[in-house]
Amino acid sequence: MTASLDLGLHALRAAYRAGTLDVGRTVETVLQRIAAAGDDKVWISRVADAELRAAAQALDARRGEIETLPLYGVPFAVKDNIDVAGLPTTAACPGYAYTPDASAAVVQRLVAAGAIVIGKTNLDQFATGLVGVRSPYGVPVNPFDKDYVPGGSSSGSAVAVSAGLVSFSLGTDTAGSGRVPAGFNNIVGLKPTPGLLSTEGVVPACKSLDVVSVFALSCADADAVLAVAGPARKTAAFGKTFRFGVLSAADAEFHGDAAYAALYAEAVAKLAALGGTAVEIDYAPFREAAGLLYGGPWVAERTAAVGAFMEGAGPDAGIWPVTHQIVMAGKDYSAVDAFEGQYELAELKANAYAQMASLDFLALPTAPTIYRVSDLAREPVLFNSHLGHYTNFVNFFGLSALALPFGFRPDGLPFGITLVAAGFREAALLAFGGRWQRAVPLPLGKTNSVLPPAAVDPVVAEDRVPIAVVGAHMSGLPLNGQLTALGGRLERAGRTAPVYRFYALPGVPPRRPGLVRVAEDGGAVELEVWSLPAEAVGAFLRQVPAPLGLGSVALDDGSSVPGFLCEAHAVAGAEDITALGGWRAYLRTLPV
């Protein structure tokens, strides 16, 4: 059981619910796998084995609370620029280390939901890099080939998930650090919209751009973590048919990696087969914004974060030379540069938004290629910048993104794509990502885990408005198409509370219904509750003429929903049809 245990979040929860697994056995599995991995450079610090066993025992004693603890007994790792109480935070710099008394806000939420912190993971020092090699703690071993970079800066967090050491992990993402490692480790990388998840207790890289990211084996697992880590945000789902932005041949840059180029073309074709229409974009504004992050005044924000520490640190602090070079370059920029950069960014963002307005998302390579560790020794800055070619702009523009696996080069190294959507579209991205993972069956990381059942795939919690209808907008009646054309969905059929009189308003046929609330002698009326996307309600209301208007309709189960009521003055001379119980019954009384 231990060797084959599936650490997928939903697999663990199913086993816990069935009573075939306890948390103690899960923790023992994690400890055995970490020991078997040896000196893989994944961890900077870990919770003591005895403490982990005690935490498992405490959770096993709370087995009856499984349904109220959505992450019950789920082991996870935390990037070592995110605080965990009692463990040192180093940001991969020994001289910077401090031990916090409290965990970061996002960690607190996960632990309160039953998750277990296993330890703190390695990273590119001060989250400055996309390669995973800029750390005095070593280079985390890419599970697919130790000679190749694991991606950064969230290197250890990605490897921990891909290698099956934990169920999920937290990273951070400023320029791609939560996506590039996902692509190089064949896992899912969710980069939320800036501001969605709290960054309290996170060592800043570029404070205005930083986000906490999530690595997982499946979109279903990432969705479960997001549901705990941050506030719920309702959104519309991508439809069965959708439009997605792709690179033109002129804009596609793979730095000579023909295999990555071919895989990207295949991924675009797969998206089209799933119902998408590919639309070529002009990548120039995205590319130019990406260039601002390290080639513009935003470097100074890294200087603001840790520059003073670097200036005062001694030779034994363990500062990585390339990191020092990058961070201290921020001193070369002036306040004028900062303002001019903001103006330039605003223009680029407006151009990008105009292109994205008619698209559901962009589909880009997560990275243009992958490098050997030895390559980075030769070109530490240039090759790192290459890896951010398709990622650096996303936080600048306030967008959401999801890195997804899509196959392998002939040498077995993973390739992935990233879907980039408007801000706060995480739920829609994860729902589509779940569909993608079922259509593109692949190993999950470098594990033997399997996709969780389709029943737990992410579902979009849409911002929809319920509307009660009592007349021709009901199913099968002449005006129902006004609802369905706007994305209307039948939620349930029912009856009003017995507090209404119901009328067939006078006028040229077809007549309209009038529902009026009364203080006495009321009756119950058949209705249907439909829902519309919030943004479609206005368009629907414009199609409904006076004297009908939207009000609160009381239902027979004691609840109330918005629905159509009639102004009382309009029923003078109208036929009272309350006794018939509904509009369909009334229509049956009319001559054919």
What does the alpha-carbon distance between residue 177 and residue 172 come to, in Å, rounded to a whole number? 6
- With helix as H, strand as E and coil as C, how does 145-203 read? CCCECCCCCCHHHHHHHHCCCCCEEEEEECCCCCCHHHHHHCCEEEECCCCCCCCCCEC
Instruction: Say if CB 185 and CB 144 are below 8 A apart.
Output: yes
Q: Which residues are catalytic?
A: 79, 153, 177
Fold held by 9-456? Amidase signature (AS) enzymes (3.90.1300)
Angle at alpha carbon of residue 71, lines to 70 and 75, rounded to 5°: 175
Which helix (H) or strand (E) element contains residue 172? Answer: strand 168-173
Dist CA 285 CA 352 (whole Å): 6
| Partner residues linked to 496 by β-bridges | 555
Q: What is the pLDDT of residue 509?
A: 57
Q: Do domains 9-456 and 464-587 have the same CATH topology?
A: no
pLDDT tens per residue, range 246-296: 999 999 999 999 999 999 999 999 999 999 999 999 999 999 998 888 878
Q: Tokens in use for 223?
A: 């969705």
pTM, two decimal places: 0.83
Nearest to 26 by CA among 123, 91, 101, 116: 116
Q: Sketch the domain layout of the chain as residue ranges.
A: 9-456, 464-587
CATH of segment(s) 464-587: 3.10.490.10
Which helix H or strand E contains 109, and what residues bound it?
A: helix 105-112
pLDDT tens, position by position, 224-247: 999 999 987 878 889 889 999 999
Cβ burial 65-94 (10 Å sphere, 16+ → b, else e):
eeeebbbbbbbbbbbbbbbbeebbbbbbbe
Picking from 162, 68, 74, 65, the residue whose alpha carbon sits closest to that of residue 117 is 74
Give the strand order in the sheet containing 575-576. 512-517, 500-505, 575-576
Start-end of H helices in 457-553: 480-484, 537-541
In this structure, what token pair is assigned to residue 474? 């009901």
Of residues 530, 527, 505, the one with CA closest to residue 581? 527
Predicted local confidence at residue 426, as pLDDT: 97
Query: Coil, strand, or helix at residue 60?
Result: helix
Residue 70: φ, ψ to 5°:
-65, -15
How far is the C-alpha of 112 from the C-alpha of 103, rounded, in Å? 11
Alpha helices in 274-371, H assignment, sequence order: 284-295, 299-312, 321-328, 335-356
8 Å CB contact between 442 and 186 = yes
Instruction: List, for the chain, all residue ranges whose pLDDT scores fall below the cut of 50.
Output: 1
User: Distance between the two ends of the chain, CA-based, in angstroms?
Assistant: 70
| Assigned token pair, 465 | 């408005």
